[in-house]
Structure 1
Amino acid sequence: MLLPLAAPPPVPVGAPAVPAAADPLPDLDAATIPQLARRMDAGSLTSVELTRAYLRRIDTVDRGVRSVLAVDPEALRQAAESDRRRARGQARGLMDGIPVLLKDNIDTRSGGTAGSRALRVPPRDDAELVRRLREAGAVVLGKTNMSEWGNFRSPWSTSGWSGVGGQTNNPYVLDRNPCGSSSGSGAAVAASLAQVAVGTETDGSIVSPAGQSGVVGFKPTLGRVSGDGIVPISTHQDTAGPMARHVVDAAILMSVLEGGGADYAAALTPDALRGARVGVWRRAGFSAETDRVVESAVDVLRRNGATVVEVELSHLDRIDAAERSALVTEFKHDLEAYLRTRPGVPQTLTELIAFNEADPVELSRFGQELFHEAEKAPPITDPTYREQRRTATDLARRSIDEVLAAHRLDVVMAPTNSPAWRTDYTGDPFGLSSAKPAAVAGYPNATVPAGFAGPLPIGVSFMAGHGADARVLRFAAAFERAAPVRRAPAYLPTLPGVTGCGS
């Protein structure tokens, strides 16, 4: 079982016992996976030292952020095994010995709750992506909090809150919201509580919290990462993906998550912007601060040799209406199919609704209106549902494909988010988001830090067509290199003002 944070795991027998003041550690916020791997290969750093440093930060820094649900008691043992492999010259690649956190809708043998107290009986086995991480030698450090059920229990849910973990806070300003259902993964990476984390997205829940927490988030093409062992909303849109402080780390993690010999880091080139044609979808008028950051990002593109074309993506209202109705049907079907793999937990939406009504915590912040709606949803054989799904997916793909083709574009850039709002449990305010077309289309989308509104981060997203994952990451990395604006959070307690999110 996962250990509560009040009980840090013991150091395994034979692991080096280095006092905190003597740890030969890099700057965790700035270090990349390739840099850490080189140090471990040279013998100036061990995975045990690195893992212990992250566990210390979880024990101290996360008291204010509250992004990590629990740590894995086997983390230091995994790190010691990695060190022994490296000493024998048998390191398994760049991820060997690298600590990673997992969103808690991803099954591990020690747990996987999707934030719900109804799923506290652990799964039988690891999710497929966890098996791939273990095979690559990664240190599974623990689980991150998330918006319960992926923000799909109520239209009035608050991002970052779950019955299991309470409220995760934005590490830049603690009374501001971390956004999206991968809120804990984004906040934990921003606070340097792990080198990388895995999030999941149905509609914005990787890129939105990454933007709000000032980190890199990558939503891959649908199907690139196995969904086996992940609590679903919809298999037509759900995907796991990496969250990191650096694009190169996201690319390395993505290669492991996908498997099959993928090497996204090899495709990163520093001059990707030179000679490129970039469509800019400004989403102007939602936020003056975001408009300013987008204008600055456009200047970066032009200074680095890109041709900028102003574009608008179409069909958004029709996509939104069709998607919402389709998701309600898919949620019931896909969730109940998943629950049948979890003995000892409720097996139907009806049973989950009854559990929540009887539980003293689950309905304390918001209701379960979407659960009631999904309980009555038609089956996936229903013609009306099938038309809704076809409409949503086809129009979302057209919205991107037609713009790319009409202007001969390599990618489209858009603002990821407006500044984070104050968490107040009246529902998430609807602000700026550009996630929907790529999310509903199943197309790749990467967000990278681009600027700030005061202390609050704002990101820009790069998206393209089906299978263009390497291209999207390449443009994100080139932008990051040209505009290295990210800075570590200051954990400010509060700020005046309020603002908007994604789902």
Structure 2
Amino acid sequence: MRRLPPTTFALALALLASPAIATETYDAPAEAELQIARIKALDDAGPMLNAVIVYEPEAANYANEASEAGMPLDGRTVLVKDNIETMEWPTTAGSLALKDNLTGRDAPLIARLRAAGGVVLGKTNLSEWANIRDNNSTSGWSAVGGLTRNPHAIDRNACGSSSGSGAAVAAGFAWAAIGTETDGSITCPASINGIVGFKPTVGMVSRTHVVPISSSQDTAGPMASTVFDAALLLGAIAGSDPLDAATAEADARKTDFTQGLAGASLAGKRIGVLRKQVGSRDDIRVLFDKAIDDMRRAGAEIVEIEADEPGELGAAEFTVLLYELRVTMDAYLASLPDEGLPRTLAELVEFNKAHADEEMRWFGQSLFEMALQTTDEAAYREARATSLRLAGEDGIDRLLRDYRVDVLVAPTAGPSWTTDLVLGDHYPGGIGAGSLAAVAGYPHLTVPMGAVERLPIGLSFMGAKWSDHEILKLGAAYERARSAELATPSFGAWSPSDQ
């Protein structure tokens, strides 16, 4: 195995803004060396993005070894959100309660990643407990990893909960990253950090040994620089798992998700435009209209859709998440091999109270406490049936059928907001329709479509259950047709463009 010399800090600074090394074949060891240099210069020093909690300093050597094996990922490096178990490091979900949670086991999706020739470069920071602890949280903050900063504007938010994964890919810290989503936790950070994010159909990727929120909505998914890279990573991690009943169809549904992407076309495709989900900002409307015009010029037929999100959906989903949080968290904690760790959600609540100075300086745990009180199984089952119907049968399925469209599109999210640990998040309201795909468990792809004041904005593609490959092909076709200029990370604080 070839040993690579250590990368100097000077080399890191010289190569910070460099794109991937241009060679006929992907030079995984050289790329890994450069990525470690970027982490040292931008995450451990300089702007201190706090996207990466821990990394493997010998990643270049592992990449060299993996690339010689001739597997699909060819030694490419992947950063993993720190609610997904890997054998090398503790899996903390950002909480001090799990800082010693070294299980020594790989989640099945990580085992698949390694078997496909991927190199686990490290673990990424996240919104603690995947942003399900309190209503007034600040996305991107965890007690273990601190505050993740957006590489496009370090005083602005990276969104969550896969904040570190989104920021790390945007900053060039890895070839790709894995995030998890319950509702918006892959697509929002991907949009706001200016990268591609894909939330697959729930059941395409195993959730075993992943710190949970919801058995109905949780999934892991790829975050990458291009649709092709996201599709390549999805193919590596997708598949059935006997320990996760939701994945029973995954082996039959998975495919080479990169197949057909290079020649994918929008010609003749009917694109359903969710006009009311653009929001009230004129600058986002202009950007979205440009994306629609790009698709029209590429041969797509544009179908305007005037549809409101069902008013009862939010309340029904909230009941489902609270009920399932208690059930799934208790089961996960009980499975941990270290008996000194909390074993139930109730014990987590008590841990946070005992460590309030470190864990609850900025926000509390109201959602944890509400989940402990959400125990009515009949009410839960009714809420789940209602939310699934509103988002699926009467939501995405109905819109696709009634308007005879191939896909639904809308802006993914608004521009990044100024991070405020004291007052919490302030999402731009009325933008996007990702909750429909999240609640239904359907695929949702976000692709960069431009920027507002140098702050990235993504374009969402949502479709029917198990239409993952078709959604990726449509996203790749748009990616080629896109005419908007994309933002590049500044690694500095935001300032008006005329200053």
TM-score (norm 2): 0.89
- Whole-Å Cα distance in 1 between the matches of residues 216 and 309 of structure 2? 19
- Whole-Å Cα distance in 2 between the matches of residues 331 and 183 of structure 1? 21
- Whole-Å Cα distance in 2 between the matches of residues 31 and 189 of structure 1? 12
Contact 2:264/2:473 (CA < 8 Å) preserved in 1? no
Relative to structure 1, is the Cα distance of residues 270 and 384 closer, same or farther in structure 2, using a 3 angstrom cutoff?
Answer: same
TM-score (norm 1): 0.89
Residue 379 of structure 2 aligns to a residue whose secondary structure is helix
- Whole-Å Cα distance in 2 between the matches of residues 70 and 333 of structure 1? 30
- Superposed counterparts of 1:159-198, under 5 Å: 159-198=139-178
Amino acid in structure 2 at the alignment position of 1:266: Q
Aligned residue number for residue 62 of structure 2: 78
- Whole-Å Cα distance in 2 between the matches of residues 365 and 26 of structure 1? 36
- Whole-Å Cα distance in 1 between the matches of residues 348 and 433 of structure 2? 32
Shift of 1:444: 0.3
Shift of 1:148: 0.4
Relative to structure 1, is the Cα distance of residues 27 and 172 closer, same or farther in structure 2, using a 3 angstrom cutoff?
Answer: closer
Residue 143 of structure 1 aligns to a residue whose secondary structure is strand
- Among 402, 410, 419, which residue is 2:415 paired with? 419
Shift of 1:30: 4.2
1:60 maps onto 2:41 in alignment:
yes
1:352 maps onto 2:348 in alignment:
yes
- Whole-Å Cα distance in 2 between the matches of residues 287 and 405 of structure 1? 29
Relative to structure 1, is the Cα distance of residues 80 and 329 closer, same or farther in structure 2, using a 3 angstrom cutoff?
Answer: same
CA displacement 1:123-161 (0-9 Å, x = unmatched): 241111110111111111001100001110000001000
Task: Structure 1: give runs of 5+ residues left out of the alignment.
Answer: 1-12, 498-503
Contact 1:215/1:448 (CA < 8 Å) preserved in 2? yes
Amino acid in structure 2 at the alignment position of 1:383: A
* Amino-acid identity (%): 44
CA displacement 1:259-281 (0-9 Å, x = unmatched): 45621000314442111100011
Range moving further from structure 2, 204-213 or 60-69:
60-69
- Whole-Å Cα distance in 2 between the matches of residues 313 and 200 of structure 1? 28
Relative to structure 1, is the Cα distance of residues 403 and 19 closer, same or farther in structure 2, using a 3 angstrom cutoff?
Answer: closer
- Superposed counterparts of 1:480-495, under 5 Å: 480-483=479-482, 485-495=485-495
1:393 maps onto 2:388 in alignment:
yes
- Whole-Å Cα distance in 2 between the matches of residues 476 and 169 of structure 1? 27
- Whole-Å Cα distance in 2 between the matches of residues 199 and 284 of structure 1? 25
- Superposed counterparts of 1:310-349, under 5 Å: 310-342=304-336, 343=338, 344-349=340-345
Amino acid in structure 2 at the alignment position of 1:376: Q
Shift of 1:102: 0.3
Amino acid in structure 2 at the alignment position of 1:147: S
Task: Structure 2: give runs of 5+ residues left out of the alignment.
Answer: 240-250
- Whole-Å Cα distance in 1 between the matches of residues 474 and 298 of structure 2? 12
Amino acid in structure 2 at the alignment position of 1:412: L
Residue 220 of structure 2 aligns to a residue whose secondary structure is strand
Shift of 1:312: 3.2
Contact 2:349/2:365 (CA < 8 Å) preserved in 1? yes
- Among 70, 73, 92, which residue is 1:91 paired with? 70
Residue 155 of structure 2 aligns to a residue whose secondary structure is coil
Contact 1:105/1:230 (CA < 8 Å) preserved in 2? yes
Shift of 1:429: 1.4
Contact 1:198/1:243 (CA < 8 Å) preserved in 2? yes
Residue 210 of structure 2 aligns to a residue whose secondary structure is coil
- Among 25, 34, 39, which residue is 1:39 paired with? 25
1:364 maps onto 2:357 in alignment:
no
Contact 1:70/1:143 (CA < 8 Å) preserved in 2? yes
- Superposed counterparts of 1:199-214, under 5 Å: 199-214=179-194
Shift of 1:49: 2.1
Contact 2:36/2:57 (CA < 8 Å) preserved in 1? no
1:102 maps onto 2:80 in alignment:
yes
1:15 maps onto 2:3 in alignment:
yes
Aligned residue number for residue 474 of structure 1: 473
